[in-house]
Amino acid sequence: MQSSSWPRPRDYQDAIQAPAICFTNSHLRNAQIHANGMGLPLAAAGKSAIVFKATADAKDIALRCFTRAASDQRLRYQELHAHLGPKPPPYMVDFNYWDQEILVGAGRFPLVEMGWVEGDPLDVWVKNHLGRGSDLADQASAWLSVIDDMRAREMAHGDLANDNCLVNGSKLTLIDYDGCFIPRLADKHPGEDGNPHFQHPSRAGHYAGNMDAFPAVVVFLSLLALQSDKSLWQFHTDKNLIFLAADYKAPRRTPIWSVLARNPDARVVALADSLANMCASPVGRLPSLKEVAALAGITLGQSPGKMRPGTSPGVAPPGTEPWWQQDALRRGPAAGPPVPVQPVVPMQPVVPVQPAGAPTPSWLSDHMPGKPPLPLQQRQPVQPPARVQLPPSAGPPVRPTAPRPPARRPEAPRPPTPPGPPVRPERSSGAATTIGILIAIVLILVIIVLVAASL
């Protein structure tokens, strides 16, 4: 029978000292519980469980005992075990969930039996490797591969932090699978929100396949930044690497952001810019570490020897919307930075729409050098050229006294005639009229003179 209240860490320490009494499973009854120099069981307590080291069947194991209730706890471990299959990935350990296994006081409680992992928490390992840039670069490369493999397996850890990332030599192992995500658990509540010094400021209640996106970038950026500037360790506490939860609530406005902006590694500057944008983005739209790293010029599978200071940061101009939030980029996977806008071409005259039945211009006319395309409209009849008007051949210039008659309606062009002797151009009708008037005036004057002489 399981009690309604959960034991405290000290209650478990008292009970586990008698494994033959407290356990129901036979191989755990015969287990040897490791103790310190004072004879007390070796243990590591966390916010939701306490872990003991034991040896059973000649193997070192970890016994994870819970100090608080978690929704669907048994279902979570069963579904995760089935999702991983008979062989877990190399960065995880095999486990078994035992229900009502350990007797504490008057009640029985569940526990998780896992393979024991030797190693230091991530922050302890980093502290011991400051100044050894190649080791930090190798760990950053390994981290990128682990996160991408989990993404390919459609799972997320849910609480990536120092205590849950153990490093032994160069081998990285993830522990504590209480809040792991897999598709079959998508409708469940995560039960926890992870270490706030690694999590998105709006992480509370978010449980989805991308919930590792933010902490994955935090760890990756921290490793590369410390590779080129170990003075960043001044921002470390016992609960973080170099970022604090307050930094995520004020992106680009706390001291850590200013120091990162001056980092000699251009990739660090680009990653810090992306992380600052992620702080202000909806938690459900965050891109994967692989996509963010690619924007900074780092690709998956890059050999550790090439993890050196970069020269092409993908830093967006101030005020630019993060690329993962742009609609044009969300339509495709791993779209990357926006495509530059082409220069505007000056507008050409609008071509009228071709009427129905009108002849279509030849494509050849559109490609003749120096010749504009023909307009797509019905052509009007061509007006014949006007005849050349010549001045009078003799006599003083006379100002016309009558208006010019209206122009005659143009005639259809005549067929060409064979060449002959040059023909003198005819006077225009206006010139003939003027000459006629002058002759009439002269006749009138002659008559007046004759009449006057007869008188």
Of 231, 188, 215, which is closest to residue 70 (Cα–Cα)?
188
CA-based nearest residue to 196, from 223, 226, 159:
159
Domain identity same for 111 and 170: no
| Domain-embedded: residue 370 | no
The pLDDT score that the predictor gives to residue 213 is 97
- Give residue 13's pLDDT: 95
Per the structure, the count of domains in the chain is 2
Measured CA to CA in angstroms, residue 427 lies from 33, 411, 412, 431 at distances of 132, 19, 21, 6
Q: Which helix (H) or strand (E) covers residue 14, if one does?
A: helix 9-16
What pLDDT score was predicted for residue 442? 81
For residue 111, being part of any structural domain is answered with yes
d(CA 313, CA 269): 7
Same domain? For 215 and 146 the reply is yes
Cα(52)–Cα(35) distance, rounded to whole angstroms?
Answer: 9
Strand duo 49-56 + 59-66: pairing: antiparallel
Task: List, run by run, the mean pLDDT of 10-residue segments along the chain (455 residues).
Answer: 76 96 95 93 90 95 92 90 93 94 94 94 97 93 96 96 94 94 90 92 94 97 96 95 98 97 94 96 94 90 56 54 57 43 37 42 37 43 44 43 47 47 47 75 82 73
Nearest to 217 by CA among 129, 324, 320, 332: 324
* Type of residue found at 410: P
Do 108 and 148 reside in the same domain of the chain? no
**pLDDT on residue 325:** 66
pLDDT score recorded for residue 329: 43
Query: Which residues span the domain enclosing 242?
Result: 120-317
Among 115, 134, 151, the domain-final residue is: 115
**Pairwise CA distance, residues 50 & 110, whole Å:** 12
SS3 436: helix
Report the CATH number that the domain containing residue 197 is assigned in CATH. 1.10.510.10
Per the CB < 8 A criterion, the answer to whether 70 and 48 are in contact is yes
At residue 112, φ and ψ (nearest 5 deg) are -115, 125
Same domain? For 129 and 213 the reply is yes
Q: Tell me, what's the pLDDT at 299? A: 85
- Last residue of a domain, which of 95, 115, 135? 115
250 in a domain, yes or no? yes
Residue pair 210/200 in contact (Cβ under 8 Å)? The answer is no
Residues 203 and 94 reside in one and the same domain: no
